[in-house]
Structure 1
Amino acid sequence: MNEDKVLIEITYARHNLTLDDWIQIRPNRSSNTWVGKTSEGGKIHLCIGTEVMIPPTAMPSRTLPYGTVIPKK
């Protein structure tokens, strides 16, 4: 995958997140990690902005920066 395709897939995954895509990393802890899907069905973990409440009541703001994006198999 070239750099442009990677950026498109990250944007696609973030745009299609739902509250159900939030991942609780450890019990009773906040998390900024979400699992998204690429246009081809691949999974990526998106760490977005600062930690959120447990569970989040709103999607992360589109202006929050990414902490990291990790492909998952």
Structure 2
Amino acid sequence: MDTRLLQTVARGTDSGKAMIATATALACVINGDTMTDVLRQATWLILAITVLIIVQVVATAVSVKRLGRG
């Protein structure tokens, strides 16, 4: 097997963002979803992560105050 060909192909696929976008679009086509549904799910994911971060920050601030460090 010629490893030079694999190295050339590996170098050509360094663009991870394009690969992720292509995989997402392909997954939508395979699953019959629309890009709107994917974006809607991504919005909910970002919202959930934001809420979790806010809860963690508030919990840390409350625990620091209770320990008398604040």
Alignment TM-score > 0.5, same fold: no
Q: Please report the TM-score for the alignment, with normalisation by the length of structure 1.
A: 0.26
Which one has more relative contact order, counting CA pairs under 8 Å at least 6 apart? Answer: 1
TM-score by length of 2: 0.27
Bigger Cα Rg = 2
> Normalized per residue, which structure has more strand?
1
